[in-house]
Structure 1
C-alpha cells in the first residue's frame, strides 16, 4: 500500500488527514512536537485498521537538522515514501507595527523557513527515488495580501505557494515524474482558527480534511478546498482592486 508522511499530524488538519488516509488504506508516517497526542492517534488508528503500519516520530520543524533526520528515518523504515505533506504551521501573526514582531517572526519562521526545510528534505528523498508526490498546505489567504492579524500569515503562505510553483516549473522542464500539489484550504474548523470570529463558509474538520485528501489524490497542481465555494471566491479575489478588497475583508 502507498505511504504518506504528514508533518504537524498531532492536531488539526494533519490529524484529520491522517484519519482520512488511514481509511483509504495508506501506511502512515506521522510527526509532530506533541508525541503523546501522536501516540494516542496511532493507537486509535491501529485499533480501527489493524493491518496498517502507523509510525510516529517527534519533530519540531523549526529544528531544521531534525527535519532531515526524521524524514530520512521514515524513508529507511518504510523503504520509500510515496507522498510527503508539508502541513505543520502556526497562525500567531499580529498587525505590523503594533509591537508584536516576535509573534510575526515565529509565524514567518515556522510557516516559511521550516516549510522550506521540509520541502528540501522531501525532495532529497524524491530525487533519489525519482518519484514521489510533494504536497504543500498553503491557504486561501495566500491569494492576496491580507490585513491586520493575518498579514504575516498570508505572506508566508503566499511564499510557500511560490516555492511550490517554482519547483513544479523546474520538474516540468526536467520531465521529472515527481509531482507537486499546492492546497489552498478555506476556513476549516480546527484549533488554529478557534479564535477567529464569524469565519465565512467554515466547514467542520472532517468535511474539510476529506476534501483535502480527495484533492491530494487528484495530484492536480493547485486545489482550493473545499472546491465550493473557494474556487470561485479565489477567482474573484485575484481580480478585484485593492479598494474593493479593503471593504470585503
Structure 2
C-alpha cells in the first residue's frame, strides 16, 4: 500500500531534510519536526513552491522532551487525519573515547539516539495500534554491526540498541497490519559528519537518501544502504578483527 502521510523527526537538516524533499516530489504529505523550526518553515515554503499539492505540517520538537514527543505526534495525527509512516530519524553523534572526560557528551548521545528513540516508537505505535495500520521506520547505522572507537563508541552502541529495539517491536507486531523496518545507512554526507574529511565509500546526501527511500518502500526488516558496498560490508564487518575496525573509524 502507498503510505501517503509520513512523519519525519529531525527533518531540519541532513537525511531528514532530504528525505522530506524526495517524498514531497512523490506527492506524499508530510509531518516534519525538529528543534530548529525556522529551518522547517523554510523547507515547507520550498516544498510549497515546487509541490503545491502536498500538505506539509511542521512543529518544533526536541525529542529529548519525551512528553512533547507524544504531544507533537498526536497533533500531527490530527493535522493529517492519520499517519501512515513514522521515520525515527532524529539523532546526534557527540562523544569521545570513554574515560577521557567527555561523559556528558556521551550521555547526551545515548539519551538522544536511544532513550528518545523509544519515546518516538512508543508515540508512533500507540497511533498505529489505534488505527490498526502503519509503518515504523528507525534509522540505525552500519556502525550498529560492530563496536567502534573514539567518537563512535557510544554512537555505535546506541545504533545497535535501536536495531535490537526495532527487531523486538517486529516480533511484537507479528500477525498485525503494522510493519517495522530498520535502515542501516553507510557513509552518507550530512550535517552530522560534515567535518570528517576522508571517509571511504561516502556518497552525497541525495544519493544516500534515494537509496534509503527505495529500501523503506520494500517494508522488510533490515536494509544496509546504499546496497553497494554496504550489503557486503555488513557481512565482512561481523568477522573483521579489531585492528581492521580501528582503521574504519
Relative to the length of structure 2, the TM-score reads 0.97
Q: For each residue in 1:201-223, what CA deviation from the matched residue of structure 2 results, as whole angstroms up to 9, or x when unmatched?
A: 00001101111111111111111
Residues in 2 aligned to 1:23 and 1:212: alpha-carbon distance in whole angstroms: 15
Residues in 1 aligned to 2:26 and 2:229: alpha-carbon distance in whole angstroms: 26
Q: For each residue in 1:169-200, what CA deviation from the matched residue of structure 2 results, as whole angstroms up to 9, or x when unmatched?
A: 1111xx11100000000111111001223111
Counterpart of 1:235 in structure 2 is 235
1:103-182 → structure 2 map (5 Å cutoff): 103-172=105-174, 175-182=175-182
SS at match of 2:64: coil
Unpaired runs of at least 5, structure 2: none
The 3 A distance-change label for structure 1 pair 244 and 41 is: closer
2:218 counterpart of 1:210: no
Residues in 2 aligned to 1:6 and 1:248: alpha-carbon distance in whole angstroms: 29
Residues in 2 aligned to 1:239 and 1:170: alpha-carbon distance in whole angstroms: 30
Counterpart of 1:67 in structure 2 is 69
Counterpart of 1:191 in structure 2 is 191
1:10-21 → structure 2 map (5 Å cutoff): 10-21=12-23
Residues in 2 aligned to 1:188 and 1:22: alpha-carbon distance in whole angstroms: 21
Residues in 2 aligned to 1:197 and 1:27: alpha-carbon distance in whole angstroms: 36
CA RMSD of aligned residues (A): 1.1
Q: Is the 8 A contact 2:148 2:245 kept in 1?
A: no
Residues in 1 aligned to 2:243 and 2:155: alpha-carbon distance in whole angstroms: 21
Counterpart of 1:46 in structure 2 is 48
1:97 pairs with one of 96, 99, 122: 99
Q: CA deviation at 1:247?
A: 5.3
Residues in 2 aligned to 1:246 and 1:36: alpha-carbon distance in whole angstroms: 39
Q: For each residue in 1:216-242, what CA deviation from the matched residue of structure 2 results, as whole angstroms up to 9, or x when unmatched?
A: 111111111111111100010112343
Counterpart of 1:82 in structure 2 is 84
Unpaired runs of at least 5, structure 1: none
